[in-house]
Chain A
């Protein structure tokens, strides 16, 4: 069965969605991603949807779920590259994906993840380093 590849980039995972997914493929991605985050201890997930021409309520919900599940596993999710027509349609559909962070492209997304990771590191550092 086809799967969407999940790449590892340092401390982050990168998923590039290029095909029009049927529902089951989307569910599989959700499961695979959470498994990989657990396995790798990754603190960031980048989902590149710049090739997706359609995001309906199911896919929208999937993105929201991924963000929520990742957060529980101590990872940040950033969705990048949403096409204008898709954004306009999602808003009209009534979805605003409140729990999902977004960025214009993979570069911007990486920067965002790194920034939040540094903040995260600094925060945990406070508790860890004691003379």
Chain B
């Protein structure tokens, strides 16, 4: 997989979430994703950024523009927060430890082509999602 372009955006405030959405939209459009695919990716980014902010205590998002085997975008959200104890449970729709509906993680998975998650309680969480053209 060859990375054509890479940038890191901090996710530590609500304003950052707006920046995340805007930047992902810009790059997705440049890569040539269809409107629906762009929307799905930006929405997934919004969900994951919110998780990073609210449950992860803040972190960052790495945005990579890929070319090989095909054109695509990969977003990696990293935080050093409390981590997720039971990932399978968290991926299930409707599960939440907060006041939300709990659709963020499981829902995001459906919006992207590839979804990876690593989390260690006490250390932090890393979620990487990819959308291909």
Task: Please say whether the chains A and B touch (CB closer than 8 A).
Answer: yes
Distance in angstroms from A113 CB to nearest chain B CB is 27
- By a CB distance below 8 angstroms, the chain B residues around A125 are none
Given contacts A20-B22, A22-B18, whether A89 and B103 have CB atoms under 8 Å apart is no
User: Hey, which bits of chain A sit against chain B, CB under 8 A?
Assistant: 20, 22-24, 53-58, 61, 84-86, 88-89, 92-95
Q: What DSSP secondary structure best describes chain A's contact surface?
A: helix
Give the chain B neighbours of A95 by CB distance below 8 A: 101, 103, 107
Task: Looking at the assembled complex, report how far the CB atom of A115 sits from the nearest CB atom of chain B, in whole angstroms.
Answer: 31
Selected from B35, B46, B111, the residue in CB contact (under 8 A) with A92 is B111
Assuming A61-B101, A94-B107, is B39 touching A54 (CB within 8 A)? yes
CB distance from A20 to the nearest CB of B (A): 6
How far is the CB of B25 from the nearest CB of chain A, in Å?
A: 8
Decide yes or no whether B110 CB sits under 8 A from chain A: yes
- Minimum CB–CB distance for B87 against chain A, Å: 18
Flag if A85 contacts B35 (CB, 8 Å).
yes
A85 to nearest B CB, angstroms? 4
A-B contact pairs, 24 of them (CB 8 A): A20-B18, A20-B21, A22-B15, A22-B17, A22-B18, A24-B14, A53-B39, A54-B46, A55-B43, A57-B103, A57-B104, A58-B46, A61-B100, A84-B36, A88-B40, A89-B111, A93-B47, A93-B103, A93-B110, A94-B93, A94-B103, A94-B106, A94-B110, A95-B101
> Is residue B11 within 8 Å, beta carbon to beta carbon, of the partner chain?
no
Per-residue interface assignment for chain B, residues 4 to 24, with 1 indicating a CB less than 8 Å from any chain A CB and 0 otherwise: 000000000011011001100
B50 interface contact, C-beta 8 A: yes
Closest CB in chain B relative to A119 CB, distance in Å = 31
Contacts of A24 in B (CB 8 A): 14
B61 in contact (CB, < 8 A):
no
Question: What is the minimal beta-carbon distance from B74 to any residue of chain A, in angstroms?
Answer: 19
The answer on a CB contact under 8 Å between B47 and A92 is no
Is residue B75 within 8 Å, beta carbon to beta carbon, of the partner chain? Answer: no
Of chain B, the residue at the smallest CB distance from A85 is B39
- Nearest residue, chain A, Cβ from B39: A85
Does B66 reach chain A (CB closer than 8 Å)? Answer: no
